[in-house]
């Protein structure tokens, strides 16, 4: 493979090993020990919030009433797209039962978890779409109780009203005004609800990600997400301005959000490198600062000789989002294997996936797309297998399983199988 960087990421100093893991562990333990009182203390300490943690129906109604009708219409329309896509996903999943051998029937049932915990961040941005993506998918999957946690702040007078509206429209059963580690702990331990979550989903900062990582096993999680990342594959047919605008749009997420371009056109790559700084500079805050820093420190432009080499780079990076602006889109669609979500052609943009198109935007990062996809209804559903045998089938299976057990040296297993093989029915 012959590739070169027209723009490489800036060398970054090694991060000093900090005590993030220890701090999160201590916070979780204090929540486990002191429960709701500790969660309230942390809400006051970190967000200045000393109001109600469980958001009441009146507050939700007031939040919806405070929003422009056009915004509520837009939230409702985006919810419809996300719901329809999730419902199609659910319809594609089926219970089944087959006769593996005469008299031996086996199958699986699809059973939703009882309680899901959906975290919705609300720092620099109002993450309306994150509420829609997680809560809608949980609801469509058939989860019994969907609990949402999103930061309530003194400055806002509670949870962001647009997030409250989105979560309500999407089908949330309970909404908690909590952020950060205290939110993840409350969801996992069932604080304020009495119903511990079976699975935790949703994006968040490094503290949220670390809390989910530490609780995995005690509770299910969707993924340990890193900073948002996006890659564009483009050739000479792509418009440089459109490519640059899309890169800057994703760099807006944060100072540590990598954006990458892989191209077979040197002319395109050089023009994009020229355009991006000015487009980033033209953003309003806080996006401007984030985009400039992300491009400076993490932006890359990679020049490949052939489409095959460019596609191989895409699969190696396994990006969270992958846009393709090239000729022969069907070839790219079939060739690419590692990505969280794919955006084909110049009319598709990650922004559509982020906000409203339908496929879920909670996606794998840090090359996890090599082995998993994004949030979907199956994340909330258990595949429960079962088997049932006739006496005749049990005799056949008993003899087979006993032989394998003894070969493995597991005599206890073999004797259990012998009972069935020797049974008179």
Q: Which residues are catalytic?
A: 320-321
Contacts of residue 334, Cβ cutoff 8 Å, sequence gap at least 6: none
d(CA 354, CA 166): 15
| CA contacts within 13 A on the Cβ side of 368 | 19
d(CA 67, CA 64): 6
d(CA 318, CA 314): 6
User: Tokens at residue 387, please?
Assistant: 């088997």
Structure-token match 């040296």, residue found: 409
- Asked if residues 399 and 350 have their Cβ atoms less than 8 Å apart, the reply is no
CB burial of residue 122 (10 Å; 0-12, 13-18, 19+): buried
One DSSP character per residue, 101-157 reads ETTEEEEEEEEE-SEEEEE---SSS--HHHHHHHHHHHHHHT-SEEEEEE-EETTTT
- Asked if residues 65 and 118 have their Cβ atoms less than 8 Å apart, the reply is no
């Amino acid at each position: 493979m012959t590739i070169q960087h027209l723009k490489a990421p800036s060398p970054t100093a090694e991060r000093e090993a900090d005590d993030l893991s220890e701090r999160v562990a201590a916070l979780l333990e204090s929540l486990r020990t002191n429960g709701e009182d500790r969660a309230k203390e942390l809400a006051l300490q970190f967000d200045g919030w000393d109001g109600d943690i469980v958001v009441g129906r009146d507050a939700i109604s007031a939040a919806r009433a405070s929003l422009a009708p056009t915004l509520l219409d837009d939230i409702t329309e985006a919810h419809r797209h996300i719901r329809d896509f999730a419902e199609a996903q659910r319809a594609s999943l089926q219970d089944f039962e087959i006769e593996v051998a005469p008299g031996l029937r086996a199958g699986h049932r699809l059973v939703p978890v009882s309680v899901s915990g959906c975290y919705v961040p609300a720092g620099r941005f109002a993450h309306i779409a994150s509420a829609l993506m997680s809560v809608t998918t949980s609801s469509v999957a058939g989860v019994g109780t969907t609990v949402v946690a999103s930061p309530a702040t003194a400055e806002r007078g509670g949870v962001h009203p647009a997030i409250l509206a989105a979560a309500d429209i999407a089908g949330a059963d309970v909404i908690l005004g909590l952020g950060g580690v205290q939110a993840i702990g409350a969801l996992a331990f069932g604080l304020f609800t009495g119903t511990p979550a079976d699975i935790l989903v949703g994006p968040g900062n490094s503290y949220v990600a670390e809390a989910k990582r530490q609780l995995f096993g005690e509770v299910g999680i969707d993924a340990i997400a890193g900073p948002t990342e996006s890659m564009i594959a483009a050739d000479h047919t792509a418009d440089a301005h459109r490519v640059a605008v899309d890169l800057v749009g994703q760099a807006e997420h944060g100072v540590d959000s990598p954006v990458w371009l892989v191209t077979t056109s040197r002319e395109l790559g050089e023009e994009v490198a020229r355009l991006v700084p000015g487009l980033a500079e033209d953003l309003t805050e806080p996006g401007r600062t984030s985009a400039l820093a992300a491009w400076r420190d993490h932006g890359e432009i990679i020049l490949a000789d052939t489409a095959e080499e460019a596609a191989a780079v895409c699969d190696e990076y396994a990006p969270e989002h992958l846009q393709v602006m090239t000729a022969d889109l069907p070839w790219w669609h079939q060739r690419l294997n590692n990505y969280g979500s794919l955006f084909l052609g110049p009319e598709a943009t990650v922004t559509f996936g982020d906000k409203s198109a339908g496929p879920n935007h909670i996606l794998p990062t840090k090359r996890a797309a090599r082995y998993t996809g994004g949030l979907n209804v199956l994340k909330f559903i258990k595949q429960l297998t079962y088997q049932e045998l006739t006496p005749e089938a049990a005799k056949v299976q008993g003899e087979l399983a006993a032989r394998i057990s003894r070969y493995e040296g597991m005599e206890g297993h073999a004797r259990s199988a012998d009972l069935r093989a020797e049974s008179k029915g």
